[in-house]
Amino acid sequence: MGLKTFDVNQDEFQSEVLDSKTPVLVDFWAEWCGPCKMIAPIVDEIADEYDGKLRVAKVDADANQDILINYGIMGIPTLILFKGGEAVERITGFKPKGKIVSQIAAHI
């Protein structure tokens, strides 16, 4: 976990993500997932660069299956940007930083 990212679980998801006044990019990942490990440094960079405009949460997919089911997540890594309690952007699989930023920039 990077310095600007935070872990969130099922119990905290409502208060930390859905009720957040600031947009929240949620990284759904798992320890065994190679592409998740590849995208993690990119997610950390985005958290640093957009500090104050965007919060970045990490959800352990194995430990929080209910969240994955609620949002129809079939594969990881999946990044979902939440704004005003709604999922406004979804990125599935490894993508380069420029692609991720271009998809989320319009919402923050």
Residues with a catalytic annotation lie at 33, 36
Enumerate residues 6+ apart whose C-beta is below 8 A from 2. 40, 43, 44, 47, 48, 56
Edge-first strand order for the sheet with 55-60 is: 5-7, 55-60, 24-29, 78-83, 86-92
Q: Which element (helix H / strand E) includes 98?
A: helix 97-104
Structure tokens at 45: 């960079």
Q: Which residue has the tokens 């009720």?
A: 19
